[in-house]
A and B are shown apart, each in its own frame.
Chain A
Amino acid sequence: MGRVLSYAVRGLTRRHGVGERAVLATCDLDLDIERGEVFGVLGPNGAGKTTLVRQLMGLIRPDAGSIEMLGWDIVARPDIPPRLAAYLGQADTALADLPVGVAVETTARLRGLGRAASRAARTAVMDELGLAPIASRPLRHLSGGQRRLAAVACTLVGDRQVLVLDEPTTGLDPTARRAVWSALQRRRATTGVTVLLVTHNVLEAETVLDRVAVLDAGRVIACDTPGRLKASVSGDVRLDLVWRSEPPRDDPTIVRLAQHAEITGHRWSTRMTAADAREALARLTAGPAFAALDDFTLATPSLEDVYLALGGASRTLERT
């Protein structure tokens, strides 16, 4: 008998639409998620991240493939994920009219906790996330970040073995974001909770994840630790240039950079070997182009570079 994984996914395929307009939202996807792992799914908008996790929660049935969750076949038994996992979706309309405290406590009750236990669990999680001062305010009257944090609190309450979170920190300020990351790490460290986290934020992926699957057009194009993924493209660095005015087009360095740069307005982003980048930067800062240069950054590879190096085509990943 092999070890029991939080998720063992094989050949998962799901189409949206029918006939010629059908799109493969998940395409022959394999995934193993260990117990106690903080696992991330990183990808641009439209990569199929949400469709993937909704299948993992039993919310939609795959067209083909199998999903085992902690040893249970959840394609045959979509009633099982709610018993093992808590899910944070992108919509919180169901809770919008409720005061934060009531929303958290009601969710605890619906996860089977008794009255007293629900109240205690509510107090604990609201203190943990710093929500106590706004306990009596309805979610819809909160700022976007506070509202998201309240929804996270509803997900954390009731102590599930698996947490599936679809972009939990969208709209959160840096302090609240760190509070969520700490809360997740704490649960993993103390009770071995498995966290599956969807993100399109590179910083989040690099900061909190043990392993990350990079998703593009419904396929996993890479899956490893953030460190190893970055090491796989470590020959290159990224040189970003910001121009305050039009750079001199007759400068040979500019011509060469322009050929390979991804240009967005005044911003040029280029990838090259460290040696080439040093040389290009030396020429730029010493030559006539320097007068037009407003700012530059030289960075080691991020997960975004991994995504692009692996053939990812979208530009909607967030860096901060």
Chain B
Amino acid sequence: MTAAAYNAISQSTGEPSLAQSGAGQSGAGQDGGTVGAAVTVAGAVLLPPSTRFGPALRAVYAGQLARGRVARVPLLFVAAFQSLGIMLLLRGVVDTGNETTSEQVVAGSTVLVVAFVALNLLAQRFGALRAAGALDYYLTLPIPGSAVVLGTAASYASFAVPGTVITAVVGALLFDLPLSGLWLLLPVAALAGASLAGIGAAIGLLAPRQELATVAGQVGMSVVLFVGIIPADRLPAGANVLRDLVPSTYAVDVLAAAFRPSVDWAAAAADLLVCAVVAVITLTAASMALRRAGNARG
């Protein structure tokens, strides 16, 4: 079989069901980091295996965390300072007796930290990589695009963790809210982080220009701020639609509930599910956009 014939077959049947010749078994299994046996067809050389998703994801994530170590201090605290400032401001305005509003302000400010890092900064990062032609680095490595997007998104979500904890704890103390349900912050930050990072990555990779990616990331963060902190019943007409469309809303609702004595678990689970579904959709879209972003550059 010629390589051309192989291509025809592989396109119709998908990669794994390849014809393999006897020579095609080496190269795999370098500490288990690769997937599939090396393959060959008559007239073409041995094709080394791709790197598996898991090891690729871990390597991207570890690399991004190492990046963060250099820029950690500003990254972690700029996000938290913004939210702390908003809470202090509103503490002077809001009546602490109004528990619904207090919950909403603290939960909204906490999720805003996630939005700042995962949506805004990640959109800027991918926009900058794309504009510089630096995505070529990832696109010429034998790794799935989803590992690049997920690994980077996960690292940015990790950067948001200290800021969210600080914001939630300080907020609860400021507004006299109970801290007992705060463990819910863990799934909220993870799933809000994943869904907002998916949006951020998709914006960065799909925006036609770097400046547009930056602007879109900032607008996205402002929307999260607006519909996240203002209680739903006080939003202007029409903004409620926006509120329902933004995944951060669901994260804010769960976190606001966490400050109440009794939590409606079914509603919380449903809200978290929405975040998870949005995360899957946007991260998939971003992974597809990564390949397209490389190909579109002249």
Contact = CB atoms under 8 A, between A and B. Distances in A.
B104 interface: no
A99 interface: yes
B10 interface: yes
B295 A59 contact: yes
A17 B140 CA distance: 24
B128 interface: yes
A1 interface: yes
B295 A102 contact: no
A94 B139 CA distance: 11
B7 A76 contact: yes
A13 B30 CA distance: 38
B43 A94 contact: no
B30 A117 contact: yes
Contact of A112 (B47, B51, B135, B138): B51
Nearest to B66: A102
A59 B130 CA distance: 13
B58 to A, nearest CB: 8
B28 to A, nearest CB: 9
A205 interface: no
B137 A94 contact: yes
Contact of B294 (A59, A68, A80, A94): A59
Nearest to A81: B140
Nearest to A77: B7
A70 B67 CA distance: 36
B31 A80 contact: no
A112 B53 CA distance: 10
Nearest to A51: B298
Contacts of A99: 66
Contacts of A79: 50, 142
A78 B7 CA distance: 11
B2 to A, nearest CB: 8
B141 interface: yes
Contact of A92 (B47, B60, B134): B134
Contacts of B136: 54, 57, 59, 87, 89, 91
B295 to A, nearest CB: 6
B24 interface: no
Of the four ranges (under 10, 10 to 19, 20 to 34, 35 or more), the interface on chain B belongs to 35 or more
B138 to A, nearest CB: 7
Contacts of B59: 106, 109-110
A171 B150 CA distance: 34
- Chain B CB count within 10 A is highest, among A17, A83, A97, for A83
A106 B59 CA distance: 6
A103 B64 CA distance: 10
Interface string B49-91: 1111001101110110011001100000000000000000000
A111 interface: yes
Interface in A51-97: 51, 54, 57-61, 68, 70-73, 76-87, 89-95, 97
Nearest to A93: B134
Contact of B55 (A58, A70, A78, A112): A112
Interface residues of A, number: 54
Nearest to B291: A78
Contacts of B66: 97-99, 102, 106
B42 to A, nearest CB: 7
Given A82-B140, A109-B33, A94 B297 contact: no
Contact of B141 (A1, A60, A73, A110): A110
- Chain B CB count within 10 A is highest, among A16, A72, A81, A86, for A72
Interface in B15-39: 30-34
A107 B141 contact: yes
A73 B7 contact: yes
A95 to B, nearest CB: 7
B114 to A, nearest CB: 22
Contacts of B129: 93-94
Given A94-B137, A112-B49, A60 B33 contact: no
A78 to B, nearest CB: 8
Interface in B283-298: 294-295, 297-298
A227 to B, nearest CB: 30
Contacts of B50: 79, 82-83, 112
Contacts of A68: 3
B51 A110 contact: yes
A161 B45 contact: yes
A22 to B, nearest CB: 11
Interface string A1-22: 1001000000000001100000
A83 B37 CA distance: 12
Contacts of A16: 298
A102 B42 CA distance: 39
A258 B55 CA distance: 65
B140 A85 contact: yes
B132 interface: yes
A73 B295 contact: no
A228 interface: no
A161 B297 CA distance: 26
Interface string A107-130: 101111111110000000000000
Which 3 residue pairs across A and B have the least CB separation, nearest first?
A: A114-B31, A71-B44, A93-B134
18 contacts: A60-B295, A71-B43, A73-B7, A79-B50, A82-B139, A82-B141, A82-B142, A85-B140, A87-B140, A89-B136, A94-B129, A106-B59, A106-B60, A111-B51, A112-B30, A116-B31, A117-B31, A138-B70
